[in-house]
Amino acid sequence: MVEAQSVGEHAATRDREGWVTGTLVLFCLASTIITVVAGLVQVTFGEYSMTFVEAWSAVFEPTVLFNLEAWSSFLFGTELPEMSTDSVVVWNLRLPRVFVAIIAGATLAISGAIFQAVTRNELASPFVLGVSSGAGFAVLATLVVFTGLAPYLPLIAALGGTVAFLVVYGIAWKGGTSPVRLVLAGVIVNMVFQSLQQGLFFFVDDLGVAQTAIAWLTGSFTGTGWGEVRIALIPGIAAIAIALASSRQLNVLLLGETTAKSLGMRVERVRFFLSGIAILAASVAIAVAGIVSFFGLVVPHIVRNVVGGDYRQLMVGCLFAGPALMVTADVGARLALGGMQMPVGVVTGLVGGPYFLYLMRKQQSMGEL
Amino acid sequence: MAQNKTQMTQERITDSDGVAVESALVGEDLSLSYPTTEETIVECARLDIPQNAVTALVGPNGSGKSTLLKSLSNHLEPERGTVRIHGKELDTFDRKELARELGVLSQENDSLGSITVEDLIYHGRYPHRGFFDSVSEEDHAAVERALELAGIEDLRDAELGQLSGGQKQLAWIAMVLAQDTDVLLLDEPTTFLDVHHQFRVLETIRQLNEEKGVTVAVILHDIAQAARFADYLVAMHDGELYDWGPPEEVVTEQLLADVFGVEATVQHEPELQVLPRRALPER
């Protein structure tokens, strides 16, 4: 009896704290602080200048924070109630952009982490399975050819990504798929779609359209507002929740296909389902921010380096690190060049590329998980 | 050889007293091949894995042992024929349901080096847990039992990547033990291990069989070791069953010549012993 009790206690502590390590908690805390600070910088600076104190007090302005009408305007798109200029700038222009960056950062990081487990390849990312080029092509086709569909651009981007992924899966399927075949098919489908994209650029005769297209293809938060938050919030939360709940499945998948099968996992089904979740997550980000390069590849690496390879930890880490890095990158994209805004994808590419190379040099083994 | 085949179709496997033995796993009329090739790898009219005993599959490289084991564990769909576990066809099982009856350890296991031994063994509880289930008391007890049986309690918190090959193998075996199945299939668990760890693996298997009556089918590449260790031997040659039964009956100088292509002396006193002498010329 006594023994059973002590065993029970051990099990309980394991349940509560077994994987929640000090490192993980610290990492998440640090990420949260970075997110908040970067967010504050983002709402403070810009063409309409404020001091930190003004911005801070505008963020926590009780007449907005506890105003149901204001929230209904933010979340459901109803009429905006009267408020001060500070409040309008902070709450209606700058904060939503931060929120969009938070959602996109979290979903992209988690999507990348899932794809890396599903393909058992550290070099996989949301975009290696064709999602990015498919979405990019769909966006470009809409802007150039089917201009009437422009209001549905986010939906179309997600759709393009999904179709491309299904093509990749179809090519890789041969009585089952394998990580290597999936990645190879992804590379090939990527190439085809990129050629199509480049072909489409020849039909662009308007400079404005070309710029919009480039902003989509490199990823940008310019001009995002509550509308984008409304698009991304619910599917984003759903994808993240399912992904977190699936972390044990991902861990078992990492034991290798044969072992996972021996343990009673329907590997193909789980792999397809998890890929679907990862696409949903990536589509959320693509729909509001376009294609932010390198992000889904690099963030899981950073997190893995710090908290380790256990997906229960990795997913939580990604959930916090993704927003921190995305909001920071967007601060750079918006404010670094003074008056001119860059696409955030340029910043993530410029910072993420060299960092990834550094990781490759530092680590002995890379590639296979 | 032809005589062996007819024998196989007609008779049930018997123990040393000539009494028919209950089988945990039965393969009938099996024809096995891989989807990528036309060639049939294994043809087998009937294969019995006797209940509550340790059966060793032996044979030279490429004789189809692993292929046969894969079909027994539903990793390979037989082209023809059926496999039944406790009288029920494998196909009728849900995957998780099957994983609660039948544990399998394949030959090559690769995984993250950073996973701890305890975490790995907890994965053995996968078929017992639903999607949202947390670790239950039962899971915990099973993992503790597995750690103890494999004798690796002190390695609990070690990371897999830091262990020696033998320790790793014991950790993987502990994972399969935590699965808590009545039947266990092991593909070459002792290959590439040093003698100390070979014995520890075999002793763990033996202990499991004696204490809990678990049925074990194990591929061993060392016929001498298999002869001493197993209750029954199944000898394979060129994708067919050459012979099967208790080691005293199966292991003969003729078998060693026909199946393994070696000239050897087989001693029956004081205990069964195989002493290989030299390789026979290829026929």
- Minimum mean pLDDT among A137-141, B10-14, B21-25, B118-122: which range? B10-14
Q: Which residues of A touch B110 (CB under 8 A)?
A: 256
A270 lies within 8 A of chain B by CB: no
Task: Compute the average pLDDT of residues A174-196.
Answer: 84
Task: Compute the average pLDDT of residues B207-214.
Answer: 91
Q: Which residues of A touch B140 (CB under 8 A)?
A: 7-8, 10-11, 14
* Maximum average pLDDT range among A24-28, A131-135, A206-210: A24-28
Per-residue confidence (pLDDT) for residue B134, from 0 to 100: 81
Could you tell me which residue, A175 or A236, shows the higher pLDDT? Answer: A236
Question: What is the percent of chain B with per-residue pLDDT over 90, rounded to a whole number?
Answer: 36
Residue B92: CATH number of its domain = 3.40.50.300
Report residue B281: phi and psi, to 5°.
Answer: -60, 145
**Tokens matching residue A86:** 């500070």
Position B9 pLDDT exceeds 50: no
User: Min CA distance, A254 vs chain B (Å)?
Assistant: 6
- Whether B26 and B79 have beta carbons less than 8 Å apart is answered as no
Residue-range domain boundaries for chain A? 100-362
- Whether A112 and A369 have beta carbons less than 8 Å apart is answered as no
What ipTM describes this predicted complex? 0.84
Look up the domain containing B103 and give its range: 2-279
Model confidence pLDDT, tens digit, residues A299-335: 998 898 888 888 999 999 999 999 999 999 999 998 8
Residue A343's CB: how many other CB atoms inside 10 A?
25
Closest residue to A264, CB basis, from B98, B114, B136: B98
- What is the end-to-end Cα distance of chain A in Å, rounded? 43
Position A153 pLDDT exceeds 50: yes
Tell me the pLDDT of chain B averaged across its residues.
86
- Minimum mean pLDDT among A103-117, A120-134, B148-162: which range? A120-134
Per-residue confidence (pLDDT) for residue B172, from 0 to 100: 92
Q: Strand B88-89's sheet: what is its strand order?
A: B42-50, B23-32, B80-85, B88-89
From CA A48, how far away is CA A63, in angstroms rounded?
Answer: 21
Model confidence pLDDT, tens digit, residues A5-26: 444 444 434 443 467 888 899 9
Position B212 pLDDT exceeds 80: yes
Closest residue to A251, CB basis, from B108, B123, B131: B123
Per-residue confidence (pLDDT) for residue A29, from 0 to 100: 95
Position A222 pLDDT exceeds 80: yes
Per-residue confidence (pLDDT) for residue A200, from 0 to 100: 86
Residue B19: band (very low, low, confident or very high) from pLDDT cuts 50, 70, 90: low
Task: Compute the average pLDDT of residues A182-209.
Answer: 86
Could you tell me which residue, A357 or A323, shows the higher pLDDT? Answer: A323
Position B10 pLDDT exceeds 60: no
Per-residue confidence (pLDDT) for residue A57, from 0 to 100: 85
Instruction: Give yes or no for a cis peptide into B270 (omega within 30° of 0).
Output: yes
Closest residue to A259, CB basis, from B106, B114, B144: B106
Could you tell me which residue, A321 or A122, shows the higher pLDDT? Answer: A321
Torsion sign across C-alpha atoms A139, A144, A146, A148: positive
Task: Compute the average pLDDT of residues A155-178.
Answer: 83
Residue A9's CB: how many other CB atoms inside 10 A?
10
**What is the pTM assigned to this prediction?**
0.85
User: Min CA distance, A35 vs chain B (Å)?
Assistant: 29
Contact B111 A258 (CB under 8 A): no
A1 lies within 8 A of chain B by CB: no
Model confidence pLDDT, tens digit, residues A255-309: 888 899 999 999 889 988 998 899 889 888 888 888 887 888 889 988 988 888 8
Per-residue confidence (pLDDT) for residue A80, from 0 to 100: 81
Task: Compute the average pLDDT of residues A238-248.
Answer: 93
Position A3 pLDDT exceeds 50: no
Contact B140 A14 (CB under 8 A): yes
Position A4 pLDDT exceeds 60: no
Could you tell me which residue, A73 or B98, shows the higher pLDDT? Answer: B98
Number of domains, chain B = 1
Residue of B110, B180, B185 for testing the chain A interface, max A β-carbons within 10 Å: B110
**CATH homologous superfamily for the domain A100-362:** ABC transporter involved in vitamin B12 uptake, BtuC (1.10.3470.10)
Model confidence pLDDT, tens digit, residues B227-248: 989 999 999 998 889 998 999 8
Position A91 pLDDT exceeds 90: no
Model confidence pLDDT, tens digit, residues B137-167: 899 999 999 999 899 999 999 988 888 888 8
DSSP H/E element including B249: helix B247-250
User: Min CA distance, B260 vs chain A (Å)?
Assistant: 29
**Tokens matching residue A139:** 């966006």
Position A158 pLDDT exceeds 90: no
